[in-house]
Amino acid sequence: MTKYGSRIPMTMFILAAGLFLAAGCRGGAKTLTREDVLIPHEDTVREQFALATAQERDAKGIYDKEVRSEELQKTIFAYETVEERFPDDTQFTPVSAFKIAELQQELGWHAEAIKRFDHVLQRWPEDETVRMMALYGRGKSLDELKRPEEAQVYYKMLIDEFESSPDADVRSLVEKSRQRYRQIRPRT
């Protein structure tokens, strides 16, 4: 026993804390792999989807940029688990696939998001809601990648396919697409 009793001397504590922090801080958010994250397997697609949406809700409530980034990556893995475990589901799995692309956008991974939006458009062409959101999302990512003429194509597709919808939310997204479409100036 030391003069500090059973407590660790303060200098040892500070040294240990410093080594711990140095090991974890490498300048910027860590890119996670599936092996870094354990996603529980639920019995039903509804429960698996609920787990993913809860993870997303929690991640979006975090303001520290690096921690938020890691939590959003975990959320992507949670939504991927829905798609992997329940590939034939037509209610939650298409939305999960779209949410993956949306989260990739939020992380600034626009090239990956475009690939995911393409996957959504090819896999669930008949799901109008997911299709509409994927068209808009793909256009937005193309915009972010400074590919405006390509983005315009997807905004125009959304406008043409959904402008006569009676749904107010759909009309709102059509209007956003129309505004983005008009903001793009062709290169001369």
| 40 confidence band (pLDDT: 50, 70, 90) | confident
| 33 confidence band (pLDDT: 50, 70, 90) | confident
What's the farthest any 2 CA atoms get from each other in the chain? 80
| 15 confidence band (pLDDT: 50, 70, 90) | very low
Report which residue type is found at 149: E
Q: Which residue has the higher pLDDT, 185 or 16?
A: 185
Coil, helix or strand at residue 46: helix
Determine contact, residues 188/148, Cβ cutoff 8 Å. Answer: no
Structure tokens at 134: 């994927």
Provide the pLDDT for residue 34. Answer: 64
Read off the pLDDT of residues 76-108 as tens digits, 9 standing for 90 and up: 999 999 999 999 999 999 999 999 999 999 999
Read off the pLDDT of residues 50-75 as tens digits, 9 standing for 90 and up: 999 999 999 999 999 999 999 999 99
Coil, helix or strand at residue 26: coil
Which runs of consecutive H residues, i.e. helices, occur in the chain? 10-24, 45-60, 65-85, 93-106, 110-123, 128-144, 148-162, 168-183
pTM above 0.85, yes or no: no
